[in-house]
Amino acid sequence: MSQTLLFAIVTIVSAAASAAVVPLAVRLGWRWRAVDHPDERKHHDDPVPRTGGLAVASGILAGLITAFALGLFPTGGGDTWKGILIVAATALIFAVGLLDDLRGCSAGFKLAVQVVAAVMVVATGLSITRVFLPFGEPIQFGFAGSIVAVLWLIGITNAVNFMDGLDGLAGGLAAIIAICIGGFAAFQGAPPLVAIALAVCGACLGFLPFNWHPARIFLGDSGSLTIGFILGYLSLTASLKSSTVAAILVPLLALGVPAFDALLVVLGRFGERVHGGRFLQRFSRMFRADRMHLHHHSLFFSGNHQLVVMLLYLLVGSFCLLALGVAIRGNPVLAAVTLVVEIVVVILIRFIIIRMNRKQRTDIGPAPDRDGSPLESR
């Protein structure tokens, strides 16, 4: 049986399992009262269960079990224990997300759990030892590379979670990014990473019809955190498979739009004046929900939910295609230029939309509850 067919089976199984579990997830959401109620701050009109992570996680797990059964994962000794540790770390992320969906968790507790999970993954040997530059000698990180890897995992986890602000947005973008990282992993000759990426893609696609506007179910933190953590692991692992500058920049290109948007929002929150102006107060402000993300500004400007989601699909998909093109060409200068272009595009789009919104309205309004950050209070 060809490897392409095996990958197709993994994707189909993941999508089917995710879709099959959605009705159960909806029922459990109502039974557990894990429901997002509408108010003046939110985009939906009716109560919606936020237990979609149960369906997505089930789809990913089904895909991974299928991939293992089909022989797509290496077995034996160190690889087995590394796999167990990574699965345990991902399960920990899912658990804290589900706990937050059901009962609510403090920002500090969620961040602490993310740090523990990231350290578990880095303990398997996943570390950024050096970074290659388009010009000059590479930067050696040494032990600091482990810290950088932990920050990367936490950052991407939160960036993906930030995207869960509109129906169908996070799941669709995650599927696109997973396909890109899967293609990059295939180019690197890493079938296990391809299988994981396709399991994530399939689970998101199976869930997406139920999450499309108007959504019957939300991803919740259990879904968006889990997806973000896995994409963070995949992107970091795939980039470390090669020592070329272009390969290392490819995952950042694929994840650039949500990552740079999240970074700009967090920096903007820190820069805002708060009562007293002390550092801790400004730091706390970084984790408060608001409508400052690109999708919030875009929705306020257009008023068309589906249009905004589709345009963001197009934007992220375009940069994912560029990322794959950079991987194929292997040109470090092209990779660096493309990354700069992506940053500039995100900044320009935000600037233009914000300026146009201000002409229509001076006050954007209070923060929506569904901003999606695991560190933002709901």
Give me the amino acid identity at 333: V
The separation between CA 322 and the C-alpha centre of its own chain, rounded to angstroms, equals 19
Give the total number of structural domains in the chain.
Answer: 1
Is residue 183 domain-resident?
yes
Is residue 113 domain-resident?
yes
Residue 170 structure tokens = 């996070």
Is residue 162 domain-resident?
yes
Domain range for residue 107? 3-360
- Burial of 101: CB neighbours in 10 Å, binned 0-12, 13-18, 19+: buried
pLDDT, tens digit (0-9, with 9 covering 90-100), for 21-33: 999 999 999 999 9
pLDDT reported for residue 372: 42
pLDDT, tens digit (0-9, with 9 covering 90-100), for 352-374: 887 877 766 655 444 444 444 44
Is residue 377 domain-resident?
no
Residue 191: asked if its preceding bond is cis (omega within 30°), the reply is no
Torsion of CA 347, 349, 351, 356, to 10 degrees: 180
| Mean predicted confidence (pLDDT) in 150-162 | 91
Is residue 16 domain-resident?
yes
Is residue 378 domain-resident?
no
Is residue 372 domain-resident?
no
pLDDT, tens digit (0-9, with 9 covering 90-100), for 32-84: 999 987 755 455 568 999 999 999 999 999 999 999 999 999 877 677 889 99
Is residue 352 domain-resident?
yes
Task: Decide which of 294 and 218 is more confident.
Answer: 218
pLDDT reported for residue 253: 86
